[in-house]
Structure 1
Amino acid sequence: QIRGWGLAGLERALRILMQTDLTLRSGSAAPPEALVSRALIGIARLRQGAG
């Protein structure tokens, strides 16, 4: 399944995960579960756009 992503898509997904990690470590007021859910939804949307 990774083949359908392409390098640019993988870079964007990694960027989303890195930003989420940074936000979680910075002590954001948002619930961690909400931040992770938002990240996963964003990554899923990237994949939908690629396919």
Structure 2
Amino acid sequence: MLTELLLALRDNNPDGFKHLLKLGLQELGLDVVDELTRDFLVPLLSETEAD
């Protein structure tokens, strides 16, 4: 799941990212998806984007 989310971001594919995020929420739950985004996705953003 995380790899697919990162690939969607890299490819600048917001629709794909939203779809995968929704799927992740349904399958894994909010707590898991929240932890994944905090641990892996937020560090990839610039300081401005993270705010």
The structure whose Rg is larger is 1
TM-score for both structures, normalised by structure 2: 0.35
